[in-house]
Amino acid sequence: MTFSVPSADSIPRPDPSGADAVFWDALRDEGVLKFERCAACGGFRHPPRPVCAQCGSAEAEWVTSGGTGEVWSFTVIHAPTLPAFMDQVPYGAVVVRLDEGVFLVSNLLDCPVDELTVGDRVELVATRVDDELTLPLFRRT
Amino acid sequence: MRTAAVAGIGQTRFAKNMGRTELDLAVEAIGAACADAGVAPASIDGIVSFHIEQVSEVDLVTTLGVQELRYMARTPSGGGGAASILGLAAMAVEQGTAEQVVVFRARNRSKAASYGSDPNQGGRPWAKSGSRLRDHRQWHHPFGVAAPAHEMSLIGRRHMGVYGTRAEHFGMQAVAQRFHASRNPDAIMRDPITLDDWHAARPIAEPIRLVDCSLENDGAVALIVTTLERARDLQAGAIPVLGHVQLGAPIHTELADFFATTAAYGERASGAVAAGRRLFGRAGITPADVDVAMVVEPFSLTVPLALEQYGFCAMGEGGPFIESGATRWPDGGLPVNTHGGSNGEAFVHGVNHLPEAVRQLRGTAVNQVVGAEVAFACGAITDPSGAVLLGVDR
């Protein structure tokens, strides 16, 4: 079974504020992943944080990710799960390690659950749900 | 500095849908622990529990008639804190802040037993999150990752990818624990299972199968911690606390941070590696000196991860360690969760593992490790966590 995005009326929906909103707004408006990066030492921090865990600096810039990475881990979820996903079990979920070193929980498009593999190369597919929400999903390259 | 000791243990019956309040359950378990030690509940002067505990200190003071409460502490995270609560009690006793501290956890958390709006009052984790996600759930829930089993399966699969651990290895631990439970009259699951049964069990979030999962049940557990000298004068005798540590690692509910900081299990030492060194260093012993281990496991896959990180086997060797039979009573060199653990005896956020460590050292466990002198207990390795070492009184 391959993954399909839940319907707009059922999907649990981020309602972010502050720095979190920069991430989600960039996806929606530009179709890209933006991560917070320390302006002092260059270390990424995701989810966003008030200061850098490596050097303590509060100075940050937003950097557009190349959108490529690898499958760090995966699972095949059967149940129990969120109502929005119940009609497509079993479905795969992955942890992607972006090449910038940032980790995201996501799903792979066009990948049957029996083909999920740790280490596969993937790229971002900014997947529009509706005018408000775009999800950072991935596909194999 | 004074030495702390466990002087009493107590627990309720464990079962699904008992229909009792958590206060009711807590009071019974605390009463049983006090009766075991031979002390009056009113003389308790310290209370330690989890931050998610719904039974308040005030409720216990008024219900038990506690005369002079001197110390209150709670530990973050659920099963991660199972051993930490014993450490917090020992610390208060060691420092002279309190003389007789109760450690407890009470749960009325069968999945149908949702009884309030707080996410820690039972029910499915997403049922109370609403449809708008402002906290850490915004990074998991839109992708269908919402239950602890989903998060932990991603952690377990990474271990498999890095080290060649097999899902079966996790199953072997589940099977060993169900064997232990089959001999434990207090256990909810009394029927042993085979590895074939594990293969046939319903997948929840692969590699996790149903029989790898902690149970959903009600019940409460309590322990009384006092000074070694005082415990020696009490009727049940003393089980000294040889050492205790906490570790402030990231948690499975926030996987981006979890993976960023634990990296690939070995590319960078996780918190438990350093905590284990502190724990054994303080006690002046090594993992090889431990006779029996209680490893809190929301899912069986956390057992090999914890055994590796605390130094009972090499990093990546947790699966083969289990496969060798090392964790299985009676022949294993390090029997783990001899009461049946969270998938066999009961799930009380792992606090039911602590009385079993005490029983092993008293020589009263149903699956007794002959001559056990040192017991290790740790909270779930996928949370902010902690560990304790208990010994026999010499």
Q: Complex ipTM, two decimals?
A: 0.98
Residue A54: the pLDDT is 87
Confidence of residue B131 (pLDDT cuts 50, 70, 90): low
pLDDT of residue B113: 64
pLDDT of residue B332: 98
Could you report the per-residue pLDDT of B245-258, keeping only the tens digit for each?
Answer: 999 888 899 999 88
Q: How far A18 CA lies from chain B's nearest CA (Å)?
A: 10
| CB-CB under 8 Å, A74 with B157 | yes
Q: Find the closest chain A residue to B155 by CA distance.
A: A73
* Residue B112 confidence (pLDDT): 64
pLDDT at B260: 85
The pLDDT of residue B58: 97
Q: Does A77 touch chain B (CB under 8 A)?
A: yes
Does A16 contact B154 at a Cβ distance shorter than 8 Å?
no
Distance separating alpha carbons of residues B271 and B310, to the nearest angstrom: 10
Instruction: Convert the pLDDT of each residue in B24-44 to its tens digit.
Output: 999 999 999 999 999 999 999
pLDDT above 60 (res B269): no
B330, pLDDT greater than 50: yes
Please say if the pLDDT value at position B122 is more than 80. no
Test A97 with B147 for CB contact under 8 angstroms.
no
Counting residues of chain B whose pLDDT is more than 70, the rounded percentage is: 95
Question: DSSP H helical segments within chain B, as ranges?
Answer: 22-37, 57-64, 84-95, 148-163, 167-182, 195-200, 228-233, 255-262, 271-283, 302-309, 318-323, 341-344, 353-362
Cβ B367 vs Cβ B184: under 8 Å: yes
Q: Mean pLDDT in chain A?
A: 95
Instruction: From chain B, pick out residues whose CB is under 8 angstroms from the CB of A135.
Output: 142-143
Could you tell me where the DSSP H helices lie in B324-387?
Answer: 341-344, 353-362
Q: Report yes or no: A68 at the B interface, CB cutoff 8 Å.
A: no
Question: What's the rounded mean pLDDT across residues B271-280?
Answer: 90
Banded pLDDT at B268 (limits 50, 70, 90)? very low
pLDDT tens digit sequence for B60-80: 999 999 999 999 999 998 889
pLDDT score at B78: 84
Q: How many residues in total does chain B contain?
A: 394
Torsion angles phi and psi, residue A54, rounded to 5: -85, -40
Residues forming beta bridges with residue A18, ordered by sequence position: none
Asked if the model's pLDDT at residue A7 lies above 80, the reply is yes
For residues B38-51, give the mean pLDDT: 97
Contacts of B99 (CB under 8 A, 6+ apart): B45, B46, B93, B226, B227, B230
pLDDT recorded at residue B267: 38
Among A21-25, B22-26, B176-180, B380-384, which is the least confidently predicted range? B380-384
* CA B84 – CA B386 distance, rounded (Å): 5
Nearest CA in chain B to A53: B261
A88-134 pLDDT tens trace = 999 999 999 999 999 999 999 999 999 999 999 999 999 999 999 99
For chain B, the average pLDDT equals: 93
B393 within 8 A of B242, measured Cβ to Cβ = no
pLDDT at B282 over 50: yes
Please check the confidence at residue B266 and state whether its pLDDT lies above 50: no
Put simply, whether B202 touches A (Cβ < 8 Å) is yes
Of all residues in chain A, the percent with pLDDT exceeding 90 is 93
- Residue B131 to chain A, least CA–CA distance (Å): 5
B304 contacts B170 by C-beta, under 8 angstroms: yes
